[in-house]
Structure 1
Amino acid sequence: MSRRRHSDENDGGQPHKRRRTSEPVEIEDRLESLICRVGEKSTSSLESNLEGLAGVLEADLPNYKNKILRILCSVARLLPEKLTVYTTLVGLLNARNYNFGGEFVEAMIRQLKETLKSNLYSEAVYLIRFLSDLVNCHVIAAPSMLAMFENFVSVTQEEDIPQVRSDWYVYAVLSCLPWVGKELYEKKDVEMDRLLNQIDGYLKRRQKTHVVMLQVWTAEKPHPQEEYLDCLWAQVQKLKKDRWQERHVLRPYIAFDSVLCEALQHNLPPFTPPAHIDDAVYPMPHVVFRIFDYTDAPEGPVMPGSHSVERFVIEENLHCIIKSHWKERKTCAAQLLSYPGKSKIPLNYHIVEVIFGELFQLPAPPHIDVMYTALLIELCKLQPGSLPQVLAQATEMMYMRLDTMNTTCADRLINWFSHHLSNFQFRWSWDDWSDCLTLDFEKPKPKFVKEVLEKCMRLSYHQRIVDIVPPSFSALIPAEPLFQYKYIDENNVSLPGFAVSISVGNAIKSRATNDEILAVLKEVPNPNKDDDDDEGDSFNPLKIDVFLQTLLHLAAKSFSHSFSALAKFHEVLKTLTESDEGKLHILRVVYEAWKNHPQMISVLVDKMIRTQIVDCAAVANWIFSQDMAHDFTRLYVWEILHSTIRKMNKHVQKIQKELEEAKDKLEKQQHKKQKDSGDEEDMERNSEDEDGQLEEQIERLQEKVESAQSEQKNLFLVIFQRFIMMLTEHLVRCETSSMDINTYWYKNCVERLQQIFLMHHVIIQQYMGTLENLLFTAELDHHILAVYQQFCALQL
C-alpha cells in the first residue's frame, strides 16, 4: 500500500528519485517473503535454503535489523507449524551475530509479556515453545530455560486463583518437553526430576468435575475421552521412560550442529508470570478427541499410540496448520496433505481425527463450523482415492457410537454430514444403517438419520430426499413441508371462526388496512370470556387463530411472502399479542400450521422476535410448554432457542455499546472544554447545552441497559426454571414407579441443559449469584445440581 501511494505522489517528478525512495520498501517486502516462505517447496534442500537465507539476512542486518526482528517475532507467534525451521534460522544468525541473537531473545520476551497481558494464551504457548527450542539451537542456555519453567510451575502454589490459571502454566511447560526435554534432562536431570515431581503433585490434587461436561462420548470404550492435561502428562511420562527420544519433530538444526555448538548462548532475563487479575480470561480445559487407533488403519504406516508423545506432536502440528490457514480452505487442505514426515504416519487418519476433534470441541469449535465442512470437501477433492474412504470409516464409527455421543456433538455431526452429502449428490450406503429401522424412533440412531434427512431437505427439496433413500426408510423421511390450514376443509364449517376466516381472507385479498382487519375480527367470539363479562378482550385465542392461520395460508408460497405478510399486518399482530398469553398463543398457531416445515417455523419465530411481535421469554416458555412436548428433542427446537438467546445478548451488547460511546463523547467534550477554558462565554454556554443533552442521553441509555439486562437475566431464569421443573418431574415419576431414570429423553434433556450453560457461558457467569440463590440451591436434586457444579468447575 505504502509503495503505491508513494509513486502516486511522485508522478511527473524525477524518476531516479522515486526509485531510490521506494527501494527500502521493496527490500523489506522481499525480506518478509523470503522469511515467510522458507521451508516451502523448493528444488534445494531445507538446510541449504536456511544457510542461504541466514547469509542474506546477516548482510541486511545493518540497515534492516528492526524489520528482521519484527518479522521473526511474528512468524514465531503466527506460523507455529514451522517452529523448528525458524529456530534453526535464528540459531544461524546468532552464531554469526551474537548481539542480534540477544536482541531477538529480548524482543521475544517483550512479546510474550504482551500476549499474556492481552489474554492471547495460545500464541503465548507458541512463543514459549519457540524459546525452548532455541535451547536446541544453542541460542538460549538450558539452565535459564529451566528457571523459566520453574517460575511457571510455581504458579500452582499461588492461593485464591482459578484452577484454569495454574492449568495453563503447567500445560505451557509440558507442551514444550517433546521439543526440549532431552536437552534439559541431559544438562539438568536433578532439577528436571524435581520439576516433574511438582507437576505430578499438582495434577494429582487438581479437581476434574468439569470433564463430564466436555466429553464427546460418555462411554470409556473403545477410546476414553481424556482430559487434556492428564493425556499430555501420560505422554510426557512415556517420553521420559523412552529416554526423551521422539521421532516426529523435524529438527533441521542437527545438520548445523558443528556451527551452532560454537555459538555463545544467552540467558533469559528472569521471567515472573504476570499476577492474576479478576478480568483475565484463561483458556478453558478440554478433552482429547480420539476415534482411531492403530487397528483402524491396518494398511501402511502404524498410527502412534494415544499415549505416545508422537501423537501429541502430530496433532499439535496439524492444529497449528489449521489455525494458520483456516480462512483459505484450499491452502489449508494442501498444507495438511503436504505435512512433513507424512510417509511415516497414516496422515489421512490423523487429519480426519484432528478436524472432528476441533469440530466437536466444547463449548465451541476454534473456528466457524462450516469451515470444517468446506475443508473436508476440499481434502476429498485433493485426495479422491483415499481420504473419502477414511472419512466414510469415521462417519460409520461415529454412527455406531451415537448412543453415548454428547447431544451437542451429535447436532454438529448432523449439520456436517447433511452439508457434506449435499456436495456429493447425497450418495451414501443407507442400507448399511438399516439397523436403526428396528429401534424405537426416539433412540439416537433413528433420530440421527431422521435429522440428517431433515437437514438434507433444507439443502434440497422433499422429492429428492424421497428418491435418494431406500423405500424401507420411508418412516424416517420428513413429512412433505405443506401448510396445515384448518379453515380450508368444508367439513370444518362448524369450527368456531370458520365464517370469519373467509371474511378475513377476502379482506386481505382486497388489500384491507390494519384497522379494517381489526374491525372484521371484532366478530370473533372469545371462548375465554363469559357472555356477561364486559371486560376488554385483550386475549382472544380464537382471534389470533383465525387471523394468523388465514394470513399465513395466503402467504405460504415462500419465506419472503410470509415476511411481507407479517410486515404488512404488524399492527394487527401487535394488538392481538399485547398480553403474555397472546404471545404464547401466536407461537402455538405458527407451530400448528407449519409443523411439517421446521425451517419455516424457525424463520417465522426469528422474524417475530425481530419485529417485537413476541419476546424472547415467550419463545422460551413456548418451547418448554406441553404443546411442544412431541418435538422437545428435535434439533430445530434448540436451534430456535439458541438463536433467541443470541438475539437477546446482541440487543444488550448494542445498547451497552451506545452507552459507552455516549460516555466517551461526553468525556472528550469536557476535556476539550478544559483546554479551551479561556474562550468566550457564549461558547461555554453552547458546550454546557451539549453536555446537558449528552447527560440526558446517557441517563436514558443507562435505563435501557438496565432494562435489557433485566430482560436477559429473566430469560435465563425462565429457561433454567423450566429445565428444573421438567427434570424434577421426571425424577419423581421414575422414583415413585421404581423406573430407571436414565432414559434417552433424560440424557437428551440433561445434555441440552449443559449445552445452554456451555454455549452462553460468558453471559451466564454474570448472573451466577442470582442463579445460585434462586434456582441451583442445595435443596435441588443432586442429578440436576451436578450440571451446575460441572459448569462452575470450568472456570474455577
Structure 2
Amino acid sequence: MSYDRRGGGYYQGGGGGRRRHRDDYDDRRRDHQETPDDQLKAAIIKLGEVDPSEELGRLEIRIREHIPRNIPLLSEAFRISVTEQPFKIPYYATLLRQLHNKSDNPTEEETPIGRLILEDFWRGFQGYVDQTAWREARLCIHFFAHLTVAKLISADSMLALLRSFTAVLDEFGVSNGRAKRACLCAGEGLLIAGPILKEHSSTFPDEIITAIQAYIDSTASQKWLVAPLSMLHSDSIPQENTIELLDMLVTNLKKLNESDFADTENCLPRPYAIYPPFDPSVLQPYVLPSVLVPPEAIEMDTLSPDTSGEETQVKKDEWPEFFPRLFPSEVSPDFVNPAGYVIRTAILDILDIFEVNRKECARLLLEYPKWNLPGTFKPKPGSTMAVEPAPGKDWQLESTIIETVLGAYLILPESSKKSIYYIGLITEICKLSPSTVGPAVGKSIRRLYTSLADGLDVEAARRFAEWFAVHMSNFGFQWVWKEWVPDLELTVQHPKRAFMRRAIEFEIRLAYHERIFKTLPEQMQAADAYTIPDNGPTPAFEYEDPGKFSLFPHKHHDSAQAILNLFRGRAKAEDVITHLDTLRESLESSDEPDVDSTVRSIAVQSLLHIGSRSFSHLLNAIERYLPLLRNLAGGGASSTTGVGGSAEARTDILAAAAAFWKHNRQMVAIVFDKLMQYQIVDPTDVVGWTFLNGSAIGQLSEVSPMNLSAFEWDLLRAAIDKANGRVVSARRKVVALRKEDDDTRAKAKAGSGVDTNMEVDLETKPQEEADADSPQLVAALKAYSSLTKEQRMALSKTLEGFISCLAPSSTAPHPNPQARTVVSESAWENRANWGRDEWNAWETWGWYKQFCRAYAPYLRTYVNTLETVSFGRFEGVSDPAGDTLKKIWNVATGQE
C-alpha cells in the first residue's frame, strides 16, 4: 500500500482505488438522475423559495409545456405541497386558477389542465378521509375553501362538504378527538370561504357555528379539568390569559359572521383575487362529489379485563387544548382576532408537520411572514424593505412564535409531541436569530414565573422548570437570578420557590453542582434559602468510612465493609447470601431490634455503593446479584421470575435505596425503575412507599409525608406506567401466540382434509379450542391475568393514597386539615397569606388532577371497583374535600 501525495490518502495499485471510487460515484449519480417528471414535481413543491408571485407565471408555463402530460404526477405534487406546506396554500390555489385557463388555441372539447388536476386531487382527498387522516383532510379543505373563493368550486358542494363534517358531531358517543378534528375541518373551511358561503346561504354560517358551539358546551367540565389556570372551588376558568382552541375558533367565526366575513380579507393572502371569475358558459365551477366521513376506528392502546372478566378496549384520551397568553395584544395576536387565529393555527401546523426536522421547522417559522399579508409582522431589524404596518397588526414575529410553541408544549394532560422536541425547537430558533428571539424567550420565562402564584397547573409548572433548565444549559446557564431574590421571603413551599428548586435541580443534572452553585447570587447559595443543597448529588453511604463523615464509626461499619469486600471480589451471590445469614445470626445474638431490616439495608446500600461510579456499574451490579436481591426481597435465591416475598422486605429495599441516594433524587427514580424492571419490587410497592416516605427525600426534611411534590409524582408516574406497559406487552404476546395457534390449527385441519367450513357443534367447539391451546399461550394468558391485577392494584393504591392525603379520616395518623381548607373560595382569595402546609396541599391537589386526567382511560376500565373501594366512605357525608375528589374523578371517568 502506498500513500497518495496528490490526494492525501492511501491507494492500491497506482491509484486504481481512487479511480474505482470515482467510477462508483458516477454510477450512483446516473442511477439517481432525476427524470423530467421528477424535476417538474420538485419545482411545484419548491414554489416560492424566492418570490412566489413572480414564480407562479413561470411555473404555469413549465407545467403547460411539459410533454407528455402526467396529471397524476401533477396532482400528487399539489397534494404533497398542500398537506406539507400549508402556508403556501393560497399560492397553490392561484396556480390552479391559472391552469384553469385554456390553451392559446383551445377546442370546444378541451378540458383545462387545472380541472384535470382538481379532479385527481379530490380522489386523493377522499383517500385521506377514508383513512381518517385528519390533518391532511383539514388542509385539503383549506385548499378547497380558497378555490371556492376563487370561483373554481361551487358553493353548494362546499356547503355539503362542510356539513358532512359537522354530521360527525351528532354521532352517538363520538370521542373528543374525533369531534374536535371535525369541528376544525368545518370551522376553518367556513373561516376561509365565509364570504362566498354567506353570500350563497345567509343561514349556513349560523348552522356551522351553532353545531360547533353545541359540542363545546358539552365539554365544559372537561375544560375545567385541563385548564392551565383553574380554581379548585369553581368550574369557572379565567379567560384573560388563556383560551381553548375551539373556543378561539368559534369566537372568531362569530365575529366574522357579524361582518358578513368582510374581515376575512385581512386574515389571509388571496393572490388569486386579481383574476376575474370565469364565464359560466365557458367553464362551470367544479362540483365536489359527496363525501361521508367513515365511522370511528377503534384504536387499540391496551386491553384490560374489567370487573366482570370481559375484555374492554382502552384508548388514549384527547382533551380540550388550552393556550396561555404571554404577551399583550400589540406584541402578539389577540385570541379574538381572526388573523391571530389563522397565524396561530398555521404555526401549530408547521410544528406538527416538521417534527421530523426541527432545524427546518425553525427556519420556516422565521420565514413565515413571507406567506402573510404585508404589514402583519414588524420587519426584521436592519431590513431595507419599507412595509407599511397593517392597521391592528404589526406584531412581533418572534414573540408570536415563542408564545405558540410554549402553548403547544404546556397542553394538559400531555403535549402531542415529546417535550424535548419543543425544547430543542426553541433552541434552534434562538440560534438562528439570537438578538430577536432571546428577548422573547426571556419575557416568556418571566410571564410564566409570574403565573405560578396565580394558579398555574402543577404539571405545566413542572414542564416549565424542565424547559427553563434545558434552555439555560444550551446558553451557558446565564440567567438574572437576582430578579427573583426578593421571592426568597415567600414561604418555602410557595410555587415560585418550588420552581427555583426544581429548575436548579434539573440544571445540576445537566452540568454539575459547583458550576450551577457559582451562577446563583449569594442569597440563594445560603442553606436556609432551600434553593440549592450544600453538597452535590453524591451518594450517602450510611456505613462509610467514619473519617469521611463523622468522628465515630457506624456500629455496623465493619459488617458493611465485609459485604463490600465480597462485592469487590465479585463473589458469587450464593456466597454473599451465606455471609448475610451468618451476619443475621450474629445480630440476633446481640439483641438488634430489627435484624432483617438492618441486614437488607447493609446489603442493598453496599451493592449500590459498588454501582455508584457510573450507570453501567449500577446495571452490572444489579444484574450480577439478582439472586441476592430476590433473596433479600423474600422470594428466595432460586426465584427467577415474578415478585415474591413480603411487602415489608420490598419496602426495606426501597427505603435503603432511597437513603443511599437521598442527595440525588434522579438516581432514586432510576434505581426504583430498575428494581421494578427486574421484578425485585412491583409497582404497588413503589406507590405505597412514595405516599408514606417520598417527601422525606430531598432538601426539605420538614415536608409532611401527607403531601406530594413533583418528585413524588415522578415516582408514581413511573410505577403506573410500568404496570400499564407490562399489560400492553403481555397483551401483544397473547395476541401473537393466539394467532400462531390459530394458524397451526388451520394448517393441521387443512393437512387432514377436514372441511373448515363445515358446521361444528357450538357447545363442543369452545372446549375443543381451549384444549388445543399451546402451553405457551396458556402461560401467556396466566401472565396477562396476573399483570392486569397488578395494574388494577397500582391504580387503586394510588387513588387511595391521594384520598388519604387530601381527605384523611378523623382517625388518620397524620391529619391534613389544610387539604380541606384550600378548596374553598375564601382560602383561594387569601392565598397571599398561605403558609407551607397550604401550598403543600394545593400542589397535592394538582397532582391528583393530573393522575385522574392522564390515566382516565385506565381508570374507566376499573371504575366500578375503584369507586366502591375508595369513595364509599364519602357517601352521605358532607365533606368539601370529598366532594372535590369525587368531582374530579367523575369528570375524568366521563360520569360528569
TM-score under structure 2 length normalisation: 0.77
The one-letter amino acid of 2:324's match is R
* Mapped partners of 1:547, 1:462: distance in 2: 29
2:727 to 622, 629, 652: 652
- Residue 445 (str. 1) matches residue 496 (str. 2): yes
Partner of 2:135: 122
- Residue 39 (str. 1) matches residue 25 (str. 2): no
Which stretch of structure 1 is more off in the superposition, 280-289 or 597-606? Answer: 280-289
* Mapped partners of 2:76, 2:357: distance in 1: 24
1:217 to 212, 229, 246: 229
- Residue 506 (str. 1) matches residue 565 (str. 2): yes
* Mapped partners of 1:737, 1:36: distance in 2: 58
The one-letter amino acid of 1:600's match is M
* Mapped partners of 1:400, 1:185: distance in 2: 44
Which stretch of structure 1 is more off in the superposition, 54-63 or 243-252? Answer: 54-63
Query: Shift of the alpha carbon at 1:63?
Result: 4.2
The one-letter amino acid of 1:516's match is D
Query: Shift of the alpha carbon at 1:255?
Result: 3.1
Q: How does 1:65-104 map to 2 (within 5 A)?
A: 65-96=71-102, 98=111, 104=117
Partner of 1:226: 243
Q: Structure 1, residues 726-754: CA drift from partner, whole Å, max 9, x if none?
A: 21118995669995456222221122122
2:620 to 564, 569, 573: 564
User: Do the aligned partners of 1:140 and 1:267 also contact (CA within 8 Å) in 2?
Assistant: yes
* Mapped partners of 2:54, 2:274: distance in 1: 10
The alignment partner of 2:807 has SS state of helix
1:408 to 431, 447, 459: 459
- Residue 270 (str. 1) matches residue 290 (str. 2): yes
The one-letter amino acid of 2:160's match is A
For the structure 1 residues 658 and 155, does the alpha-carbon distance in structure 2 shift closer, same or farther, using more than 3 Å as the test?
closer
Which stretch of structure 1 is more off in the superposition, 237-246 or 379-388? Answer: 237-246
Which stretch of structure 1 is more off in the superposition, 583-592 or 363-372? Answer: 363-372
The one-letter amino acid of 2:713's match is W
For the structure 1 residues 336 and 773, does the alpha-carbon distance in structure 2 shift closer, same or farther, using more than 3 Å as the test?
same
Which stretch of structure 1 is more off in the superposition, 304-313 or 334-343? Answer: 334-343
The one-letter amino acid of 1:126's match is L
Q: Structure 1, residues 227-285: CA drift from partner, whole Å, max 9, x if none?
A: 32222111111122333123131222123345698642111222233345665979834
Query: Shift of the alpha carbon at 1:464?
Result: 0.6
The one-letter amino acid of 1:639's match is D
* Mapped partners of 2:469, 2:597: distance in 1: 38
Which stretch of structure 1 is more off in the superposition, 495-504 or 27-36? Answer: 495-504
* Mapped partners of 2:651, 2:718: distance in 1: 17
Which stretch of structure 1 is more off in the superposition, 465-474 or 224-233? Answer: 224-233
1:255 to 256, 269, 274: 274
* Mapped partners of 2:657, 2:129: distance in 1: 50
- Residue 756 (str. 1) matches residue 851 (str. 2): yes
Partner of 2:605: 549
Q: Structure 1, residues 756-787: CA drift from partner, whole Å, max 9, x if none?
A: 23334454444344434443569462111122
* Mapped partners of 1:483, 1:736: distance in 2: 35
For the structure 1 residues 531 and 103, does the alpha-carbon distance in structure 2 shift closer, same or farther, using more than 3 Å as the test?
farther
Q: How does 1:41-440 map to 2 (within 5 A)?
A: 41-42=50-51, 46-60=52-66, 63-96=69-102, 98=111, 104-105=117-118, 107-162=120-175, 165-200=178-213, 202=214, 205-218=217-230, 223-244=240-261, 245-246=263-264, 247-257=266-276, 263-276=283-296, 284-294=318-328, 297=331, 303-339=332-368, 340=370, 341=372, 342-343=377-378, 344-403=394-453, 404-440=455-491
The alignment partner of 1:405 has SS state of coil
Partner of 1:746: 841
- Residue 519 (str. 1) matches residue 569 (str. 2): no
Query: Shift of the alpha carbon at 1:675?
Result: 6.2
Query: Shift of the alpha carbon at 1:605?
Result: 1.6
Q: Structure 1, residues 352-385: CA drift from partner, whole Å, max 9, x if none?
A: 1111011101222222111112211111121121
User: Do the aligned partners of 1:91 and 1:137 also contact (CA within 8 Å) in 2?
Assistant: yes
User: Do the aligned partners of 2:243 and 2:335 also contact (CA within 8 Å) in 1?
Assistant: no
- Residue 662 (str. 1) matches residue 737 (str. 2): yes
Q: Structure 1, residues 671-721: CA drift from partner, whole Å, max 9, x if none?
A: 556666679xxxxxxxxxxx9997332222222222222222222122112
User: Do the aligned partners of 1:430 and 1:470 also contact (CA within 8 Å) in 2?
Assistant: yes
* Mapped partners of 1:704, 1:195: distance in 2: 50
The one-letter amino acid of 2:411's match is Q
The alignment partner of 1:139 has SS state of coil
For the structure 1 residues 275 and 513, does the alpha-carbon distance in structure 2 shift closer, same or farther, using more than 3 Å as the test?
closer
The alignment partner of 1:210 has SS state of helix
User: Do the aligned partners of 1:231 and 1:288 also contact (CA within 8 Å) in 2?
Assistant: no
The one-letter amino acid of 1:78's match is E
Structure having greater relative contact order (Cα 8 Å, sep ≥ 6): 1
RMSD of Structure 2 on Structure 1 (CA): 3.6
Query: Shift of the alpha carbon at 1:66?
Result: 1.9
The alignment partner of 2:434 has SS state of coil
Number of aligned residues: 756
* Mapped partners of 1:425, 1:758: distance in 2: 36
Partner of 1:6: none
Query: Shift of the alpha carbon at 1:584?
Result: 1.0
The one-letter amino acid of 1:452's match is A
The one-letter amino acid of 2:598's match is L
2:889 to 788, 791, 796: 788
* Mapped partners of 2:206, 2:330: distance in 1: 36
Partner of 1:3: none
* Mapped partners of 1:111, 1:311: distance in 2: 30
User: Do the aligned partners of 1:223 and 1:290 also contact (CA within 8 Å) in 2?
Assistant: no
The alignment partner of 2:654 has SS state of helix
* Mapped partners of 2:129, 2:493: distance in 1: 47
TM-score under structure 1 length normalisation: 0.86
Partner of 2:798: 719
Q: Structure 1, residues 556-588: CA drift from partner, whole Å, max 9, x if none?
A: 333333333222322111101122211111111
Query: Shift of the alpha carbon at 1:98?
Result: 4.2
User: Do the aligned partners of 1:153 and 1:199 also contact (CA within 8 Å) in 2?
Assistant: yes
* Mapped partners of 2:784, 2:59: distance in 1: 57
For the structure 1 residues 485 and 227, does the alpha-carbon distance in structure 2 shift closer, same or farther, using more than 3 Å as the test?
same
The alignment partner of 1:440 has SS state of coil
User: Do the aligned partners of 1:91 and 1:260 also contact (CA within 8 Å) in 2?
Assistant: no
* Mapped partners of 1:225, 1:211: distance in 2: 12
* Mapped partners of 2:279, 2:589: distance in 1: 95
The one-letter amino acid of 1:148's match is L
For the structure 1 residues 645 and 26, does the alpha-carbon distance in structure 2 shift closer, same or farther, using more than 3 Å as the test?
farther
* Mapped partners of 1:667, 1:440: distance in 2: 64
Q: Structure 1, residues 164-219: CA drift from partner, whole Å, max 9, x if none?
A: 5544433321122231111211222244344445555x257524101122212227
The one-letter amino acid of 1:638's match is W
User: Do the aligned partners of 2:128 and 2:134 also contact (CA within 8 Å) in 1?
Assistant: yes
Partner of 1:686: none
The alignment partner of 1:306 has SS state of coil
For the structure 1 residues 634 and 774, does the alpha-carbon distance in structure 2 shift closer, same or farther, using more than 3 Å as the test?
closer
For the structure 1 residues 305 and 185, does the alpha-carbon distance in structure 2 shift closer, same or farther, using more than 3 Å as the test?
same
The alignment partner of 2:617 has SS state of helix
2:786 to 707, 728, 738: 707
For the structure 1 residues 164 and 771, does the alpha-carbon distance in structure 2 shift closer, same or farther, using more than 3 Å as the test?
farther
The alignment partner of 2:613 has SS state of coil
Partner of 1:460: 511
1:596 to 658, 663, 682: 663
